[in-house]
Amino acid sequence: MEIKKAASRSNAGNDVTLVHPQLAKLFSIVEGDIDDDNFAQGLDVAFLALPHGKSAPLAKKLYGKGVKVIDLGADFRLKNLEEYKYWYELEHECPELLAESVYGLPEIYKEEIKKKSIIANPGCYPTSAILGLAPLLANKLIALDNIVIDSKSGVSGAGKTLTQQTHYPELNENLQAYKVASHRHTPEIEQELSLLGGTKLQINFTPHLIPMNRGILSTIYVKSLKSFTNKELEEIYTEYYKDCPFIRIRDKNHLPQTKWVQGSNFCDIAPIYDPRTGKIIVISAIDNLVKGAAGQAIQNMNLMFGLDETTGLKYGAIFP
């Protein structure tokens, strides 16, 4: 693969190393204008990282010119237009393209991803939540009306926009939940868990902001329909993910830590059965910027172009 073009609105005309000085001496490209009609020319695939509502029309334009699209934003994630309108407070601008798109979670949709032209790259929280729950839902092992997903994220998930909440002295040495019962990743998680569970379900999802740069840890509580040993649970997960190079099953004595996935495309998962309460607690960890965003986008690109899924992604966490 070759990076042929880069474009933005705020940085058009500048070299990328102006915004990203860490790339100096490694990479240099003058950013173009994202609205330039010739932008699509010479491209096989484009990665879009835009606010919701902004990527749909651009994706349409690119699709019309035969360019495949991997959208890191939200516009193609929700299949239900009503839900999109309710949660994002917008009419979808090109609903006809939804049929051309697929939810880009390769562990679930590998075959569709190979065939589709538009990939809705999943949100960071949904990636950690869905991967944590898929084996239980697919195997019909849990109650569907009592799913609690308590997620904790590093601050890079909040983006580059300056806010009081992400001002260093306010956030450092602080801990808080936000958007309780109202975060926009909720319908995305529910959509995918419903498909896996075979019925429309609802969840409780609470995101938290953690004073660190990267990483999401989700702690998931579900009611088990039967009792297990932890070993049995681990085997169910291992079997379910047996063809997935980026999933690692951990156990109760080696619980996932975000540091073990920091900077890598891995998702580490440990399912634990609590015999006292009959619940299963699942811990899942990803790097929100890699498996939760850019790394997963590369993984999707690899699949779309018939490359080995791990191309360019075969590296471990940066430690410490």
Q: Which residues are catalytic?
A: 124
Min dist CB 100 to its own copies, Å, is: 30
- Cβ proximity to its own copies, 210 vs 236, nearer residue: 210
β-sheet bridge partners, residue 279:
223, 274
Residues 255 to 314 in contact with its own copies, rule: CB under 8 A: 255-264, 266, 272, 274, 276-277, 279, 281, 283, 285, 314
Residues 11 to 40 in contact with its own copies, rule: CB under 8 A: 20-27
Among 58, 171, 193, 297, binds its own copies (CB under 8 A): 171
Among 2, 3, 96, 162, binds its own copies (CB under 8 A): 162
Q: Assign 131 to helix, strand or coil.
A: helix
Residue 137 to residue 32: CA distance in whole angstroms: 45
Within 13 Å, how many C-alpha atoms sit on residue 196's CB side? Answer: 29
Min dist CB 269 to its own copies, Å, is: 12
- Cβ proximity to its own copies, 41 vs 204, nearer residue: 204
Among 38, 41, 80, 163, binds its own copies (CB under 8 A): 163
Q: Which amino acid is at 241?
A: Y
Per the listing, tokens 């996935």 go with 261
Residue 280 to residue 263: CA distance in whole angstroms: 28
Pairing of strands 32-33, 7-8: parallel
Residue 14 to residue 160: CA distance in whole angstroms: 18
Among 89, 111, 170, 308, binds its own copies (CB under 8 A): 170
Q: Is 125 in the site for its own copies (CB under 8 A)?
A: no
